[in-house]
């Protein structure tokens, strides 16, 4: 995968731009994509994204070639039998209003076809990307499309920026809410509008992502639980299954692509009744 900083004018709204060749044949027909507190735009060039509703869904549903993936506090399962070249961006909190004219929580925990937000310009962009085989050119074309869609927006409310920073430093939601100067209701509304998640869900995903890194580095489960801020190992294991659809031990055994894409070789056993 090629990963680059965005053009200067996009940096307040875009964290990174990426392009990837079609991945090698997966070890499994589906993979779990783990929770992320960032929105994404992803454009598949060789076929639509296909998602599964639950572990018992053996067919899946095609969504679109170009989608906006909202922030989410849980995993989703996608088909990996048809690999595809892709181009996309990782969006910063506050980008939804600037690029789509809506709040982030309106797109959270879902995959919205880009055409539903951008109209006919979305398939035109996809066609332009298909006509280029150069990843650098593809990333530039996508950024030019984003620049064309940018609209004036208010800066993020200082209380929301401070709360986000505090959560990333491990501060408790209650203390951050008190320090924000906003009522709990107003803070919750503004935070969800900017990020797509409530503060507690945002913090939960941050803790999970930290635990993932420690798990990938071979830490003992008890040590991960302590370092990441879980009450104990049982709490960590329970949260991990709820957010990923598998146990920590299953994650360690599974083929993993880029930390967040986990091939579900035994998905019926691993996913169980966990909701996707």
pLDDT at 193 over 70: yes
- The 10s digit of each residue's pLDDT in 49-72 is 999 988 788 889 999 999 999 999
Average pLDDT over residues 147-157: 93
Print the SS3 string covering the chain.
CEEECCCHHHCCCEEEEEEECCCCCCCCCEEEECCECCEEEEEECCCCCEEECCCCCCCCEECCCEEEECCECCCEEEECCCCCCEEEEEECCCHHHHHHCCCHHHCCCCEEEHHHHHCCHHHHHHHHHHCCCCHHHHHHHHHHHHHHHCCCCCCCCHHHHHHHHHHHCCCCHHHHHHHHCCCHHHHHHHHHHHHCCCHHHHHHHHHHHHHHHHHHCCCCHHHHHHHHCCCCHHHHHHHHHHHHCCCHHHHHHCCEECCCEEECCCHHHHHCCCCC
Asked whether residue 65 falls in the same domain as residue 126, the answer is yes
- Return the sign of the alpha-carbon dihedral for residues 33, 2, 115, 15: positive
Regarding whether 90 and 56 lie in a shared domain, the answer is: yes
**Averaged over 228-248, what is the pLDDT?**
96
| Judgement on whether residues 144 and 163 belong to the same structural domain of the protein | no
CATH number, domain of 187, equals: 1.10.10.60
Task: Tell me how far apart the alpha carbons of residues 70 and 92 are, in angstroms, rounded to a whole number.
Answer: 11
Residue 76 has pLDDT above 50, yes or no: yes
Mean per-residue pLDDT for 220-248?
A: 96
- How much is the pLDDT for 246? 93
Question: Average pLDDT of 218-233?
Answer: 96
Residues 165 and 141 in one domain: no
Q: Which of 122, 149, 176 is the last residue of a domain?
A: 149
Average pLDDT over residues 220-230: 96
> Is 113 found in the same domain as 39?
yes
Range in 30-34, 81-85, 119-123, 264-268 the model is least confident about: 264-268
**Domain end among 106, 127, 149:** 149
Q: 37 and 138: one domain?
A: yes
The CATH number given to whatever domain includes residue 12 is: 2.60.120
Q: Are residues 18 and 56 in the same domain?
A: yes
270 part of a folded domain: no
Last residue of a domain, one of 108, 130, 149: 149
Q: Could you tell me if 199 and 247 lie in one domain?
A: yes
pLDDT at 268 over 70: no
Q: What does pLDDT average to over the chain?
A: 92
Mean pLDDT of 228-255: 95
- Tell me which residue range forms the domain holding 37: 2-149
Res 264: pLDDT = 87
Total structural domains within the chain:
2
Q: pLDDT > 90: what percent of the chain? A: 81
- Supply the pLDDT for residue 90: 98
What is the structure's pLDDT at 266? 65
| Torsions phi, psi for 223 (to 5 deg) | -70, -35
Does residue 272 carry a pLDDT above 60?
no
Distance CA 88, CA 68 (A): 10
Do residues 110 and 204 both lie within one domain? Answer: no
Give every strand in the sheet of 30-33, ordered side by side. 61-62, 50-52, 76-79, 30-33, 261-263, 256-257
| pLDDT tens sequence across 16-34 | 999 999 887 777 889 999 9
**pTM summary value:** 0.91
For the chain, report the end-to-end CA distance as a whole number of angstroms: 26
Name the band, by pLDDT with cuts 50, 70 and 90, for residue 207: very high
Q: Please check the confidence at residue 237 and state whether its pLDDT lies above 80.
A: yes
Question: Do 81 and 195 fall into the same domain?
Answer: no
What are the pLDDT digits (tens) for 99-113? 999 999 999 999 999
Residue 272 lies in a domain: no
């Amino acid at each position: 995968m090629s990963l680059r900083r965005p053009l200067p004018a996009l940096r307040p709204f875009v964290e990174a731009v990426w392009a990837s060749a079609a991945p090698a044949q997966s070890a499994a027909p589906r993979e779990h994509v783990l929770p992320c507190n960032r929105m994404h735009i992803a454009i598949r060039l060789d076929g639509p994204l296909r998602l599964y509703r639950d572990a018992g869904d053996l067919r899946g549903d095609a969504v679109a070639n170009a989608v906006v993936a909202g922030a989410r506090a849980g995993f989703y399962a996608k088909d990996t039998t048809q690999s595809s070249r892709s181009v996309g961006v990782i969006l910063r909190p506050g980008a939804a209003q600037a690029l789509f004219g809506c709040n982030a929580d309106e797109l959270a925990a879902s995959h919205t076809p880009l055409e539903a937000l951008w109209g006919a310009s979305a398939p035109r962009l996809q066609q332009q990307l298909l006509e280029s085989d150069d990843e650098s050119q593809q990333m530039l074309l996508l950024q030019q499309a984003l620049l064309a869609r940018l609209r004036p927006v208010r800066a993020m409310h200082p209380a929301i920026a401070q709360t986000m920073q505090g959560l990333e430093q491990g501060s408790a939601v209650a203390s951050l809410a008190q320090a924000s100067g906003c009522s709990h209701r107003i803070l919750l509304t503004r935070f969800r509008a900017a990020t797509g998640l409530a503060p507690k869900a945002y913090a939960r995903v941050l803790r999970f992502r930290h635990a993932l890194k420690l798990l990938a580095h071979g830490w003992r489960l008890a040590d991960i639980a302590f370092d990441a801020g879980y009450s104990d190992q049982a709490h960590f294991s329970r949260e991990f299954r709820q957010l990923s659809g598998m146990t920590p031990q299953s994650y360690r055994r599974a083929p993993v692509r880029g930390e967040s894409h986990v091939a579900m070789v035994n998905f019926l056993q691993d996913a169980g009744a966990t909701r996707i």
